[in-house]
């Protein structure tokens, strides 16, 4: 990584904006960062770290991602920020960060919180492309798990910002202090976890061993408890030489116990079955005797109540006959009651008829005078005869009623016509008034139309038609719109071309990787073939390939693995599989796929570029902003022209509409005058018709009253006459039903030889008849039950025993036998419980023996495993006897890293000291110090190995500087990080004499020959004359300022 530009605003001691151009200092590859103490030299290094990581280095990293970096000298409204432009390999990046702060409010007083901001961009084809616009995105892009930098903040400060003074202290520090520093630079978490896992595994196995021994002892205790509880003794106690043999003897003793208790249970079960069978036989004889007694009692009860039952059956038969006769007599009585009611109603209607006869037409009432004579039977009979005559003369009254109603309807129609005539007259008067109002309104409308026409003519004369029409402006606007679309298409095409170019780069990277992988496979196969051939070489024998008999350095598989490690970065101790033809074929296919994808991507990129060129041509050289501005201006002008044209058209339209309104008003006035004349004529005709109809209505008033009275009288008479006819017919039907009911009653009584008096005497009350039915049913149920009991096998067996004179068991005998069965059942249950207990004991002993055997087997195996795990953990912890150096795995790995650092530092020290000094790793164990993390220095001038504590000030500076550079190399190699092309060396120069300082500068000059740019942070005056390119930090009361001084610029 190489720094190009650093811009600091309100950062640390810098009140304003300070910019450092590192490219201007790269001419000699060496520059001096100098200034007064406290001016802000180290702040420049802090700014680089803050830009890349959002945090400050060293102990200040504990302040987190929002450290207080804003300058106290800066104006209140100026936000702090750091912008860094740098490159990695050939790619250039720009990152800017602003910490969170409380800025003044834009309105009012006080402050408001503003969050931290950050963005990172990449320069692609001359354009900056965003790679992250938020602090979190920037952190992920730069220093995430797969970040661009590949180094943590601590590692970066050790690699790019070399605090030489700290490494001078590192040379003389204790082992624990070196361990702490190396742990921050090298990831040893894998080995720490391995050591932790080994310790935990050892403890776990020890705990399992203890648990297994305790389980073994518990099994012995359980077996001893069972043996004492059930008095078990092994059959061959002398042959049981150990716990397992004794346990097997207990198993045999438990089996014998089960056998004994099983036999006892079988005997008790047999005794219980015999007692239970005898009880069943006795209870069966007793049940048969009880069934026979029930049968005997039922037969005796039937024989005793036979005569009484017969009487009840006869009484019930007579009751049923009397109830049927009563039903016929009640029907006869109901019919007679109906005849009487209808006769009374007919008589009342007959007597009412004379009062309804029409007095004005006596000649028509003659056929019905017989109905109105008197009330005796003869007159009633005569009335009936009169009603039985033909009623065709009655229709004359109906015709008279119809004629009267017809005339009444004619008079009603005449009255309605008179009312309609009056309504017509009223409507004619209203219509005439309405038409006259229309005439007046039409006159007023015509006057207004003339006024509107004159105003419209004035507006047309006032309006002017625009010189350039809207259609011409619309055509120009359409052309500009197409150019704007083309300009927008240019932006889209540029984005598409950029994406296509990036895709081409990605596919090119994939193609390069596929080609490299294929090449590596070929190299591996060649190396392994050579190593395989070398295995067959024998000293003094000719080589099958070249024929030589001397083989000074034959290839081996280990060397092949080492070569593969150098190529791929894998572990050389891991076996690398032999490359097969299938692997080669897959690599070739992958490379061909990558070539096809790359070719397609390149074609797509060319197509996108052609599309971009075409879009630029269509845009006509206009940018999207220019086109949009022209469109807005032309659109405003078009809107104004349209408004003018619309105003002129509206004025012309108003004139035309006014002319049309005048014509329409004249037409409506003429039409209204015509309709007004017609309505006046209609009014006169309606008035004459209304007068005529009112005279006619007055003439018909007397006729209406006479006809209405006659119609009402005739209606009353006919209604009464119809009621008399209806009642007479219904009375005749009721008499016929009464005669029919009387005949049915007499027939039933005659058939059953009963009189009406006997039928009433034989009829019983409902409760008495119901009781007779229940008694008869109970008698039938008793007979059925007796027959059922007599057919039972138990009753037949009992009868047979009586005939055979066999005895029946008593209740005392049954109770005694039940007691014997209960005792036998209890003895059986006790024997069963004892047998089950013996089986459980046997199962418990078997389970305990199995657990004992398992525990015995596992405790030996676990014990061996625990010993091995303990030995491994001790070796990893550095406390085991097999660990000769008494170093933990973590310390061992750190020692290996320190040894690599010492080798890399020696290479740097050779340059700095002209090959005099070498830094060696010392893993010798001392009495009070851990082994593995010591360093010594070898002086080749006198072949003396010296402890680092004996170095002089100048020697310490050179060694510590070489150590810092060597550590930087190893950290980069370990993490796979980027190459640091800009280094800062801080502290230590003030302690050197002039000769040593010259040597140090000479060594630094040699270090920058590999293309690095080195910045020395110091305030030593001698360096100002030796290093022409400088960054000078000047401290003032208003804050510090930065000035860049180059070799071609004189110092001030």
Of 683, 503, 680, 702, the closest CA to residue 598 belongs to 503
918 with 1015, same domain?
A: no
* pLDDT exceeds 50 at position 326: yes
Pairing of strands 127-132, 117-124: antiparallel
H-helix or E-strand spanning residue 122: strand 117-124
Q: What is d(CA 154, CA 1) in angstroms, rounded to the nearest whole number?
A: 16
987 with 1004, same domain?
A: yes
Q: Which comes out higher in pLDDT, residue 87 or 669?
A: 87
Res 1052: pLDDT = 45
Which CATH number covers residue 85? 3.40.50.300
Mean pLDDT on 204-217: 82
**DSSP structure string for 205-241:** HHHHHHHHHHHHHHHHHHHHHHHHHTT---TTTTT--
Task: Read off the DSSP letter of residue 948.
Answer: G
* pLDDT exceeds 70 at position 563: no
Of 897, 919, 896, the closest CA to residue 908 belongs to 919
Spatial neighbors of 601 by CB under 8 A, at least 6 apart, are 500, 503, 504, 506, 507, 508
Res 385: pLDDT = 46
Q: Tokens 């950050």 map to which residue? A: 118
* pLDDT exceeds 60 at position 893: yes
Contacts 24+ apart (CB under 8 A), 799-806: 799/292, 801/285, 801/288, 802/292
20 with 103, same domain?
A: yes
181 with 66, same domain?
A: no
Cβ(1024)–Cβ(1030) under 8 Å? yes
pLDDT in tens, 46-74: 999 999 999 888 766 555 556 778 898 89
* pLDDT exceeds 90 at position 791: no
pLDDT in tens, 345-365: 888 877 776 666 655 544 444
Res 95: pLDDT = 96
Count CA atoms within 13 Å of residue 740 on its CB side.
7
Q: What is d(CA 924, CA 931) in angstroms, rounded to the nearest whole number?
A: 6
Domain finish residue from 941, 961, 977? 977
Of 183, 187, 151, 170, the closest CA to residue 902 belongs to 170
Residue 316, burial from CB neighbour count under 10 angstroms (0-12, 13-18, 19+): middle
Q: What is d(CA 718, CA 396) in angstroms, rounded to the nearest whole number?
A: 11
Domain assignment of residue 732, yes or no? no
pLDDT in tens, 899-928: 888 888 888 788 777 788 888 888 776 655
Q: What are phi and psi of 102, to 5 degrees?
A: -105, 100
11 with 137, same domain?
A: yes
Cβ(981)–Cβ(1011) under 8 Å? yes
Q: What is the dihedral of CA 594, 597, 603, 609, to 10 degrees?
A: -100
Res 794: pLDDT = 76
Spatial neighbors of 942 by CB under 8 A, at least 6 apart, are none
Of 433, 848, 914, the closest CA to residue 676 belongs to 433
Q: What's 542-599 look like in SS3? A: CCCCCCCCCCCCCCCHHHHHHHHHHHHCCCCCCCCCCCCHHHHHHHHHHHHHHHHHHH
* pLDDT exceeds 80 at position 596: yes
Q: What is d(CA 93, CA 14) in angstroms, rounded to the nearest whole number?
A: 24
* pLDDT exceeds 80 at position 35: yes
Domain finish residue from 977, 1000, 1033? 977
Domain assignment of residue 1046, yes or no? yes
* pLDDT exceeds 90 at position 83: yes
Domain assignment of residue 146, yes or no? yes
Pairing of strands 917-922, 934-939: antiparallel
Domain assignment of residue 466, yes or no? no
Q: Tokens 């297994």 map to which residue? A: 212
Domain finish residue from 943, 977, 1011? 977
Q: What's 418-462 look like in SS3? A: HHHHHHHHHHHHHHHHHHHHHHHHHHHHHHHHHHHHHHHHHHHHH
Cβ(47)–Cβ(14) under 8 Å? no
* pLDDT exceeds 90 at position 8: yes
Domain assignment of residue 35, yes or no? yes
955 with 987, same domain?
A: no
Q: What is d(CA 728, CA 388) in angstroms, rounded to the nearest whole number?
A: 9
Mean pLDDT of the chain: 76
Task: Read off the DSSP letter of residue 469.
Answer: -
1007 with 984, same domain?
A: yes
- How many other C-beta atoms lie within 10 A of the C-beta of residue 807? 8
Q: 950-984 in b/e burial notation, b at 16+ Cβ within 10 A? A: ebeebbbbbbbbbbbbbbbbbbbeebebbebbbbb
175 with 43, same domain?
A: no
Of 128, 117, 119, 47, the closest CA to residue 92 belongs to 128
808-812, 965-969, 1018-1022 — most confident range: 808-812
75 with 26, same domain?
A: yes
Domain assignment of residue 26, yes or no? yes
The tally of domains found in the chain comes to 2
Res 550: pLDDT = 63
Helix 889-912 vs helix 175-185: angle between axes, to the nearest 10 degrees? 90
Q: What are phi and psi of 882, to 5 degrees?
A: -80, -15
60 with 102, same domain?
A: yes
Of 603, 605, 602, the closest CA to residue 508 belongs to 602
Tell me the residue range of the domain where 989 lies.
Answer: 1-150+980-1052
* pLDDT exceeds 80 at position 309: no
8 with 77, same domain?
A: yes
Q: Comparing 146-160, 397-411, 804-818, which segment has the lowest mean pLDDT? A: 397-411
Of 745, 840, 1033, the closest CA to residue 36 belongs to 1033
Q: Which comes out higher in pLDDT, residue 871 or 466?
A: 871
Pairing of strands 1030-1034, 30-35: parallel
Q: What are phi and psi of 7, to 5 degrees?
A: -120, 125
Domain assignment of residue 160, yes or no? no
Q: How far is CA 371 from the centre of its chain?
A: 100
119 with 20, same domain?
A: yes
Domain assignment of residue 574, yes or no? no
Strands of the 117-124 sheet, one edge to the other: 14-21, 2-11, 81-88, 91-98, 117-124, 127-132
Of 14, 150, 152, 34, the closest CA to residue 83 belongs to 14
Q: What is d(CA 247, CA 226) in angstroms, rounded to the nearest whole number?
A: 11
**DSSP structure string for 163-210:** EHHHHHHHHHS-HHHHHHHHHHHS--HHHHHHHHHHHHHHHHHHHHHH
% of the chain exceeding 90 in pLDDT: 6
């Amino acid at each position: 990584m190489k720094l190009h530009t650093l811009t600091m605003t309100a950062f640390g001691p810098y009140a304003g904006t300070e910019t450092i151009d590192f490219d201007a200092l790269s001419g000699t590859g060496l520059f001096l960062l100098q200034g007064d103490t406290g001016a802000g030299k180290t702040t420049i290094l802090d700014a680089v770290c803050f830009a890349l990581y959002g945090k400050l280095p060293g102990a200040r990293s504990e302040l987190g991602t929002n450290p207080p970096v804003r300058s106290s000298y800066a104006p209140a409204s100026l936000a702090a920020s750091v912008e860094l432009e740098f490159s990695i390999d050939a790619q250039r990046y720009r990152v800017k960060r602003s910490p969170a702060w409380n800025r003044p409010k834009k309105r009012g007083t006080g402050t408001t919180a503003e969050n931290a901001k950050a963005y990172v961009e990449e320069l692609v084809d001359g354009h900056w492309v965003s790679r992250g616009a938020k602090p979190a995105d920037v952190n992920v892009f730069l220093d995430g798990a797969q970040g661009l930098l590949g180094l943590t903040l601590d590692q970066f400060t050790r690699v790019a910002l070399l605090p030489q003074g700290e490494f001078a202290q590192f040379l003389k520090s204790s082992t624990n202090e070196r361990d702490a520093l190396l742990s921050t630079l090298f990831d040893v978490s894998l080995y720490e976890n391995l050591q932790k896992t080994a310790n935990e595994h050892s403890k776990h196995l020890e705990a399992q061993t203890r648990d297994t021994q305790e389980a073994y002892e518990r099994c012995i205790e359980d077996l001893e408890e069972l043996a004492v509880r059930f008095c078990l003794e092994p059959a061959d106690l002398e042959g049981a030489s150990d716990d397992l043999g004794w346990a097997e003897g207990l198993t045999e003793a438990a089996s014998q116990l089960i056998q004994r208790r099983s036999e006892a249970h079988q005997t008790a079960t047999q005794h219980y079955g015999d007692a239970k069978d005898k009880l069943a036989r006795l209870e069966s004889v007793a049940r048969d005797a009880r069934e026979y007694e029930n049968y005997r009692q039922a037969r005796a009860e039937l024989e005793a109540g036979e005569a009484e039952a017969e009487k009840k059956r006869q009484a019930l038969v007579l009751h049923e006959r009397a109830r049927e006769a009563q039903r016929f007599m009640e029907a006869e009585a109901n019919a007679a009651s109906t005849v009487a009611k209808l006769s009374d109603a007919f008589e009342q209607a007959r007597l009412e008829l004379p009062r309804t006869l029409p007095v004005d037409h006596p000649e028509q009432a003659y056929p019905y005078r017989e109905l109105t004579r008197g009330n005796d039977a003869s007159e009633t009979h005569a009335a009936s005869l009169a009603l039985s005559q033909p009623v065709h003369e009655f229709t004359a009254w109906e015709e008279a009623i119809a004629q009267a109603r017809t005339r009444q309807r004619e008079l009603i129609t005449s009255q309605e016509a008179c009312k309609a005539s009056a309504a017509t007259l009223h409507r004619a008067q209203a219509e005439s008034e309405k038409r006259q109002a229309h005439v007046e309104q039409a006159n007023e409308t015509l006057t207004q139309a003339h006024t509107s026409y004159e105003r419209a003519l004035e507006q047309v004369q006032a309006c002017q038609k625009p010189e350039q029409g809207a259609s011409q402006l619309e055509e120009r606007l359409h052309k500009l719109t197409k150019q704007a679309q083309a300009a927008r298409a240019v932006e889209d095409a540029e984005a598409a071309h950029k994406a296509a170019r990036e895709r081409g780069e990605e596919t090119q990277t994939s193609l390069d990787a596929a080609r490299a992988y294929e090449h590596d496979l070929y190299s591996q196969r060649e190396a392994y073939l050579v190593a395989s051939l070398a295995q067959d070489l024998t000293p003094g024998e000719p080589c099958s390939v070249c024929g030589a008999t001397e083989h000074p350095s034959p290839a081996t598989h280990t060397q092949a693995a080492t070569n593969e490690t150098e190529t791929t970065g894998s572990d050389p101790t891991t076996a690398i599989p032999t490359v097969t033809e299938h692997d080669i074929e897959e690599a070739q296919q992958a490379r061909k796929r990558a070539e096809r994808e790359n070719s397609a991507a390149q074609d797509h990129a060319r197509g996108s570029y052609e599309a971009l060129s075409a879009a630029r041509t269509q845009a006509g050289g206009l940018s999207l902003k220019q086109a949009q501005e022209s469109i807005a201006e032309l659109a405003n002008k078009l809107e104004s022209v349209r408004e003018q044209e619309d105003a002129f058209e509206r004025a012309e339209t108003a004139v035309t509409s006014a002319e049309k309104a005048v014509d329409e008003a004249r037409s409506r006035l003429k039409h209204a005058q015509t309709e007004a004349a017609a309505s006046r004529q209609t009014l006169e005709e309606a008035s004459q018709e209304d007068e005529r109809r009112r005279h006619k209505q007055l003439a018909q008033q007397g006729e209406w009253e006479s006809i209405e009275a006659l119609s009402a009288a005739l209606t009353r008479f006919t209604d009464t006459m119809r009621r008399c006819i209806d009642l007479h017919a219904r009375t005749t039907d009721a008499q016929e039903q009464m005669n029919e009911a009387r005949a049915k009653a007499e027939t039933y009584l005659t058939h059953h030889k009963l009189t009406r008096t006997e039928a009433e005497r034989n009829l019983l009350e409902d409760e008495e008849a119901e009781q007779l039915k229940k008694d008869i049913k109970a008698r039938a149920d008793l007979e059925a039950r007796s027959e059922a009991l007599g057919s039972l096998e138990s009753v037949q067996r009992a009868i047979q025993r009586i005939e055979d004179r066999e005895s029946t068991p008593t209740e005392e005998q049954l109770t005694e036998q039940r007691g014997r069965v209960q005792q036998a059942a209890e003895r059986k249950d006790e024997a069963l419980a004892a047998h089950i207990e013996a089986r459980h004991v046997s199962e418990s002993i078997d389970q305990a023996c199995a657990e004992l055997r398992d525990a015995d087997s596992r405790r030996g195996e676990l014990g061996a495993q625990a010993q091995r795990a303990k030995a491994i953990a001790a070796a990893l912890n550095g406390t085991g006897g097999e660990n000769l150096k008494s170093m933990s795995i973590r310390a061992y790995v750190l020692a290996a890293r320190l040894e690599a650092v010492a080798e890399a530092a020696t290479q740097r020290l050779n340059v700095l000291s002209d090959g005099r000094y070498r830094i060696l790793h010392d893993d010798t164990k001392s009495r009070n110090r851990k082994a593995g993390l010591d360093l010594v220095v070898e002086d080749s001038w006198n072949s003396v190995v010296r402890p680092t504590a004996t170095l002089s000030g100048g020697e310490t500076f050179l060694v510590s500087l070489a150590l810092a550079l060597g550590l930087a190399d190893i950290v980069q190699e370990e993490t796979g990080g980027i190459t640091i092309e800009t280094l800062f060396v801080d502290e230590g120069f003030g302690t050197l004499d002039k000769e040593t300082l010259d040597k140090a500068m000479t060594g630094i000059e040699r270090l920058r020959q590999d293309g690095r740019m080195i910045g020395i942070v110091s305030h030593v005056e001698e360096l100002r004359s030796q290093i022409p390119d400088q960054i000078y930090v000047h401290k003032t009361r208003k804050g510090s300022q930065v000035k860049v001084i180059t070799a071609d610029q004189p110092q001030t």
